[in-house]
Structure 1
Amino acid sequence: MDNTLTLSEKDLAHLQDEKLDVSELEQQLQLNEEEDSPIEEVRVTVPNTDDPLIPCNTFRMWFLGLLFTIIISFVNQFFHLRQTTITIGYSVVALISLPLGHLMARTLPTRQFSLFGFTFSLNPGPFSIKEHVLIGTMTSCNTYAAYAVDIVVLQNIFYHDKKPFIAGLFLVLTTQITGFALAGALRRFLVHPAHMIWPSTLVTASLFRSLHAQENEDDRGRTPRMKFFLLVTLGSFLWAWFPGFFFPTIGTISWICWIDPHNSILSTLTGSNGLGIGTIALDWGAATQYVMPLVTPWFAQVNILIGFVLVVYVMVPWAYYTNLWDSKLYPILTAALFRPNGSSYDVNEIMTAGVLDEAKYKAYGPLRMDSFFALTYGIGFAGLSATVVHVVLYNGREMLDRWKSARQQTEDVHSRLMRAYPEVPTWWYLSLFIVTFTLSMVTCVVWGYMPWWAVLLAFGIAIFFVLPVGIVQAVTNQQPGLNIITEYVIGYMLPGHAIANVTFKTYGYIVNIQALTFVSDLKLGHYMKIPPRIMFLAQVVSAVIASTLNLVTATWLLNTRPNICTKEGYPFTCRSTKTFYSASIIWGAVAPDRVFGNAEGAIYSPVQWGFLAGALLPLPFWFASKMYPHFKWLTFVHWPVLLAATSNMPPAQPYMYTNGLFIGFIFAFLLRRYRYHWWSRYNYLTSAALDSGVAVAGLVIFFCIQSWGGAMPFWWGNPDSDDPDPVAGALDHCPLAALNFYEW
């Protein structure tokens, strides 16, 4: 391993000073060299050594970390309200901050300064990997625009109910930061155990190791990791211009549909806007967005594949072509809402002052959706109950043991190395929770977002599910969401109240998501040996700044952009916020009883059986695995992952899954099995490099060309959507896939 030489030098020096027996030293060296993580993916990615003297709590770290926190908070919120969204992610910040860190290390003064009794230097030495990881962490936990900002936008634009700025600020801060308080209680279950690997953090660890790798770490005759990373990033950057600008059609090649694009059935089954059978995606972002094929373990991808096939290729065609719930009146795959006659559903016709008007609703008629959309809700119900049952069956004993004897648990080498750093006191996390919970209660009650009991219930849901969902994500890299169940619960308890519904969802869903995001960062810090107290301060400070800037940016746009969130306000059309608005109507205003329950006009009530189905499905496989332990494949049947396979469709398209799973078969199965040395060295690095190239290309294309009014001329590979010929004007040249059965 790369640390053997250093270890030997230390031990030889120790031998000379202490005159130890040579055979005793050899036994000690053998133990040290063999001591490593029991998880293969971790062994090949994370070094089993640490130097506690490496500086990390430095001026450089805080300056660059806060600088990038401010930049991405503004940019990502700015683009969140635009028709075309761009998100500056972890890899971009890591790449840009590296040369800046080295520049500061070369130029800042090295003399000591004294401030409030503390002595420090602006330049303690070379820019370190630990400083770099902390800079990335300060931005990663704030990569996406704060979810609660959409509530403020809804109230201002759609419901015309403007609240004071301080109310929105408290709403955003509490929903974004409360999760971090929960993360402290999850450390012993989701961070310290070796088998809670958090696959996505391995990609990040590989990226940082490669950016800071020295030449002597690379095997002779093999491409250095840094060189490999830069070459793949460059290739990804150059290629991204083709599907992203020059030749968009190759992003989704529906080649089977091209045989006869006027054949409606062929279009529905093979078009990228239909079931996407045979569609090839040459856009790396589209092909890997929902599966992350180089990161997700192969057994989890097999579960995703099984769930995908059962839903998309079996259930959906059966429901559509048997006209279940009048499916043929609507496209086979869409998130749009309809009236019973197939026309678009205008939610403004049923609302008065942001609350459902019963008389208007009865006059206008019930809400309808396509069968795929309805089925995915039912499968989401099943996935949630399956998560709880699966974790209890497969991880319940372990969780109980850890609860009883957390400090006596068996540790791996990384946990032992982390003993060198003081742990964050529990009272820090507890105090943060008390403050954020109190602010949440005050915000919701004083400014009328929702009743006090709803706050308690939302927190209860988030806390109840955070551990089982976290275990699933830590092992499989898949995250079952709570958005459906939170909307469902409050929709029954407070029907007709749209703002209360989305507020409840935000507290129940986003607090859970943020907790697991912070836990993931804590796991990265665990792998990279970041002092926990520095990590705590970096995360909290950056989260407060980012949340505030998200709201300030959105408020500025609302006050300065005319016709924002309308077609006339292009490019600020608020596409994501409009989806959020539709959800507030379905679950809040109309309410689940009128859509999925037993009220008059509700026809989707069978999907509620998903709760029972999901609770029962793991049972026979668990019993079978106990009765027939020699059938090892039974232990890899993971119902939460299998049922969550289609949870992102729509807006995800089926071809995104098929292409991602095919890439996963190559990297996670073939290369790992037959080219293990390459896989162990380059797999996670390849994932980070490809993502980085696409992200940088997207920024360059937008800021250097599109923001200045530049555009690629229309041609067959870049069709004009206004072309009178629907085939010529469709991006994939397969337009009939988006039509309903009777429009064929």
Structure 2
Amino acid sequence: MSKEEAYVTEKYEDQEKTFQDVETNNIELDEQDDSPIEEVRVTVPNTDDPQLPYNTFRMWFLGLLFTAAISFVNQFFYLRQTNISIGYAVVALVALPLGHIMARVLPTRQFNIFGYKCSLNPGPFSIKEHVLIGTMAACNTSTAYAVDIVIIQKIYYQDHKNFAASLFLVLTTQITGFALAGGIRRFLVRPAHMVWPQTLVTASLFRSLHAEMTEDDNGRMSRMKYYMIVTGCMFCYYFLPGLIFPTIGFISWICWLAPNNKVLAQITGSNGLGIGTLAFDWSAYTSLIGPLVTPWFAQVNIIIGFVLVTYIMVPWAYYSNLWDSKNFPILTATLFLNNGSAYNVSKVLSRDGGDLSEAAYQAYGPLRMDSFFALTYGVGFAGLTATLVHVMLHNGPEIVARWKSARAENEDIHSRLMRVYPEVPDWWYGLLFIVTFALSMVTCVVWDYMPWWALLLALFIAIFFVLPVGIVQAVTNQQPGLNIVTEYIIGYALPGHPIANVTFKTYGYIVNVQALNFVSDLKLGHYMKIPPRIMFMAQLISAIISAIVNLGTALWLVNTQPHICSKEGYPFTCRNTNTFYSASVIWGAIGPARVFGSKDGAIYGSVQWGFVVGALLPLVFWLASRKWPNVAWLKYVHWPVLLAATSNMPPYLPYMYSNGLFVGFVFAFWLRRYRYGWWSRYNYLTSAALDSGIAVSGLVIFFAIQIWGGAFPTWWGNPSQLTPTNADALDHCYYGQTNFYGE
């Protein structure tokens, strides 16, 4: 055994023993000794070594290197037809050997810089360095949202603003959320019951990568060995759904019984309601729900909301021909004219700036959508007000108490262990907010993105919702989005201005999302005992660099690739950016008054009742739980999660929910209840390993084969151009995307 291996073994020996004791019920830990949350107890060590190195040259070198590289790669592929995103798991895998190599080759002698002694190599590569590198990379797994504004301005609206305008827009929308994170960290990070389930997967991943690859004292497989085996198996398996046999990703076997039956195809096809569709692709299970991570009570709420909307409301609306639904497919995000033909938005826009031409709109005809799409907007409206009412009723007293005395509570072991590290002063976050707010105001007013009052309103929405949405996400692993409500509000307040609409959405929605992403990383640092001040610097610097690289990459591609964001520009077809552009037209140019109001033939006004329904439902069930306190299930009804269950459909499809929820039943309920020893040791690690395997396999498939124009030969399991509508039907259910009449 090498010195480094011996060092790692020594550092984790006590942590491993603690976990073994908990898992075998040899000891009982109370709240003073460990976390009161079971999932945290079996995943996160309740010990810390403050002497482990973390603020090191190799951490900054690898962290900044991965920040720049991943920002470039993810933005590059974001605009391509095949969208690949390099995430947390891949960075963790690649950074580990590089960190160990640097620990072996860098000089160990100390340098004296202005009286501060430091070394390029303070010892073995530590888990704290590794977590900080991963955290810096995590800021870049999603590309900067505002880059899409810059692209559609240049390509679709011929509005060529200078580089400074674009840079300030991207930076402020990405960084302002970080300032908000500091204001809510005492409510969403320090409390033990704010679990943030997804961070447990990441914590399990890092712990396993730094564990010893041997059998433990009880004869069970070590976490590291288990992780490597599962990752390797998924890496090999994903070549089937990812390249060789994609049909197994969605087997619509019921549709095969009568493939020419249009109604059966709509109900059972993977592009329809997906009843009976089986998916053997891990990405279909985990893309929405996170079945191994999301608590079972939250998944039960998702099941109820999913069945209510997808299997009850939608078939009733569609087959009763509500809103002339039969003229359209049963599930699609495409916009139509009333006769079912595609809606050509260019016919209703003016030529000078892309604003709406009211005369052209009235002459061309009102916009139509399928009933599923319209109903999910209504459910999204309900989910928003339900979030506010639910948090106010169930978490209001706690929020008030923590506001009065944020640190006087009985903290769990992880909060007490973090006391050894100096906290980030509030004025750091306050100063950051002042700076980003001032730059935001300059950006919006000087470069005419939107009026000053619109920026104030957008930031008010982001701040107002950040705590209730954060509480829902921290407990349930589900995040209610603000994209719909922000588009809705500015669409009424400033109709006919598409760029102002998407800018308002970005400041109102993405600032909120970024704040919660940063809080999630802070919670990971809390679990892994990362000093708050170095976490602050790592997050802020990496976010700034990633925003600059994202913007630079996008502008380079727009300026050098001919016909970019069109079919002629393949492979740079910009599927996500085109969707973003369509939203700018629907909510900005046309506006909600002509879609959900009563102006110019709008017929979807009734879905706005979702705001009222969403506010009433949590109140009714809260009152019922107070009246009948012995009815236990009433306490587990979580209306924000239940109503947000279908908010991502479309573009996501129902079979992803049904298959993911089945896997959730197996892992989050059955294994936890009846195989607790296995679940407590391997559940979160399994999720991380499967994610890692599919990520690495997807990259290999793309860079080794697809980037060179390679493809697996066409056969029954890999069909192409088989449907009457000239679109791929990998599930061999050819009428799943047609309207009721098969057209």
Q: Same fold (TM over 0.5)?
A: yes
SS at match of 2:594: helix
The residue number in structure 1 matching 2:21 is: none
Aligned pair in 2 of structure 1 residues 493, 6: CA closer, same or farther (>3 Å)?
A: closer
The residue number in structure 2 matching 1:213 is: 211
Contact 1:3 1:49 (8 Å CA) reproduced: no
Could you tell me how far apart the structure 1 residues matched to 2:28 and 2:381 are? 51
Could you tell me how far apart the structure 2 residues matched to 1:123 and 1:322 are? 71
Query: Which consecutive unaligned segments of at least 5 residues does structure 1 have?
Result: 10-28
Displacement of 1:53: 0.7
CA offset digits 1:422-466 (Å, max 9, x no partner): 000001000100000000000000000000000000000000000
Contact 1:719 1:728 (8 Å CA) reproduced: no
The residue number in structure 2 matching 1:640 is: 640
My pick for the range that moved more, 459-468 or 118-127, is 118-127
The residue number in structure 2 matching 1:509 is: 509
The residue number in structure 2 matching 1:262 is: 260
The residue number in structure 1 matching 2:285 is: 287
Aligned pair in 2 of structure 1 residues 724, 220: CA closer, same or farther (>3 Å)?
A: closer
Displacement of 1:217: 8.7
**1:406 counterpart = 2:406:** yes
**1:441 counterpart = 2:420:** no
SS at match of 1:172: helix
**1:304-703 mapped onto 2 (5 Å cutoff):** 304-352=302-350, 353-703=353-703
Contact 2:57 2:120 (8 Å CA) reproduced: yes
The residue number in structure 2 matching 1:731 is: 730
Contact 2:265 2:734 (8 Å CA) reproduced: yes
SS at match of 2:735: helix
Displacement of 1:117: 3.6
CA offset digits 1:278-299 (Å, max 9, x no partner): 0011111012210100000000
Counterpart residue type for residue 612 of structure 1: V
Q: How many residues align?
A: 723
The residue number in structure 1 matching 2:99 is: 101
Aligned pair in 2 of structure 1 residues 219, 324: CA closer, same or farther (>3 Å)?
A: farther
Could you tell me how far apart the structure 1 residues matched to 2:700 and 2:43 are? 31
Aligned pair in 2 of structure 1 residues 217, 432: CA closer, same or farther (>3 Å)?
A: farther
Could you tell me how far apart the structure 2 residues matched to 1:729 and 1:496 are? 36
Counterpart residue type for residue 402 of structure 2: R
Displacement of 1:405: 1.3
**1:156 counterpart = 2:154:** yes
**1:118-267 mapped onto 2 (5 Å cutoff):** 118-214=116-212, 218-267=216-265
Contact 1:64 1:135 (8 Å CA) reproduced: yes
TM-score (norm 1): 0.95
SS at match of 2:117: strand
Match of 1:75 among 73, 76, 92: 73
Contact 1:422 1:531 (8 Å CA) reproduced: yes
Could you tell me how far apart the structure 1 residues matched to 2:414 and 2:605 are? 49
Could you tell me how far apart the structure 2 residues matched to 1:148 and 1:8 are? 44
Could you tell me how far apart the structure 1 residues matched to 2:332 and 2:15 are? 59
Displacement of 1:110: 0.3
Could you tell me how far apart the structure 2 residues matched to 1:45 and 1:419 are? 21
Could you tell me how far apart the structure 1 residues matched to 2:258 and 2:32 are? 61
Could you tell me how far apart the structure 2 residues matched to 1:656 and 1:730 are? 17
Contact 2:12 2:211 (8 Å CA) reproduced: no
Counterpart residue type for residue 529 of structure 1: K
Structure 1 runs (4+) deviating above 6 angstroms are 2-5, 29-34, 724-728
Match of 1:302 among 300, 303, 327: 300
Could you tell me how far apart the structure 2 residues matched to 1:163 and 1:409 are? 51
Contact 1:288 1:659 (8 Å CA) reproduced: no
The residue number in structure 1 matching 2:7 is: none
CA offset digits 1:389-422 (Å, max 9, x no partner): 0000000000011111112122111000000000
Q: Structure 1 vs Structure 2: percent identity of aligned residues? A: 72
Displacement of 1:729: 5.5
SS at match of 2:45: coil
Could you tell me how far apart the structure 2 residues matched to 1:469 and 1:4 are? 36
The residue number in structure 2 matching 1:91 is: 89
Displacement of 1:725: 6.6
Aligned pair in 2 of structure 1 residues 31, 77: CA closer, same or farther (>3 Å)?
A: closer
CA offset digits 1:531-576 (Å, max 9, x no partner): 0000000000000000000000000000000000000000100000
Could you tell me how far apart the structure 1 residues matched to 2:12 and 2:84 are? 44
Displacement of 1:335: 0.3
Displacement of 1:32: 9.1
My pick for the range that moved more, 688-697 or 351-360, is 351-360
CA offset digits 1:203-255 (Å, max 9, x no partner): 00000000001358934310010000000000111111000000011111001
SS at match of 2:542: helix
Contact 2:462 2:507 (8 Å CA) reproduced: yes
Aligned pair in 2 of structure 1 residues 218, 32: CA closer, same or farther (>3 Å)?
A: farther
SS at match of 2:253: coil
Displacement of 1:623: 1.1
Aligned pair in 2 of structure 1 residues 670, 219: CA closer, same or farther (>3 Å)?
A: farther
SS at match of 1:229: helix
Could you tell me how far apart the structure 1 residues matched to 2:457 and 2:16 are? 57
My pick for the range that moved more, 710-719 or 305-314, is 710-719
Displacement of 1:5: 7.7
Counterpart residue type for residue 140 of structure 1: A
Displacement of 1:6: 5.2
Could you tell me how far apart the structure 2 residues matched to 1:729 and 1:163 are? 39
Aligned pair in 2 of structure 1 residues 606, 728: CA closer, same or farther (>3 Å)?
A: closer
Displacement of 1:743: 2.6
CA offset digits 1:447-497 (Å, max 9, x no partner): 000000000000000000000000000000000000000000000000000
Contact 1:243 1:283 (8 Å CA) reproduced: yes
CA offset digits 1:702-744 (Å, max 9, x no partner): 01111111111111111122x4777996211001010011236
Contact 2:262 2:742 (8 Å CA) reproduced: no
Aligned pair in 2 of structure 1 residues 233, 172: CA closer, same or farther (>3 Å)?
A: same
CA offset digits 1:647-701 (Å, max 9, x no partner): 0000010000000000000000000000000000000000000000000011000
Counterpart residue type for residue 145 of structure 2: Y
Contact 2:214 2:225 (8 Å CA) reproduced: no
Could you tell me how far apart the structure 1 residues matched to 2:230 and 2:196 are? 24
The residue number in structure 1 matching 2:740 is: 741
SS at match of 2:499: helix
Aligned pair in 2 of structure 1 residues 30, 663: CA closer, same or farther (>3 Å)?
A: closer
Match of 1:54 among 28, 52, 55: 52
Contact 2:213 2:225 (8 Å CA) reproduced: no
My pick for the range that moved more, 78-87 or 208-217, is 208-217
Displacement of 1:4: 11
Aligned pair in 2 of structure 1 residues 465, 217: CA closer, same or farther (>3 Å)?
A: farther
TM-score (norm 2): 0.95
Could you tell me how far apart the structure 1 residues matched to 2:214 and 2:16 are? 16
SS at match of 2:573: coil
Displacement of 1:119: 1.9
Could you tell me how far apart the structure 2 residues matched to 1:325 and 1:455 are? 36
SS at match of 1:624: helix
Displacement of 1:113: 1.6
Aligned pair in 2 of structure 1 residues 623, 121: CA closer, same or farther (>3 Å)?
A: same
Could you tell me how far apart the structure 1 residues matched to 2:364 and 2:627 are? 56
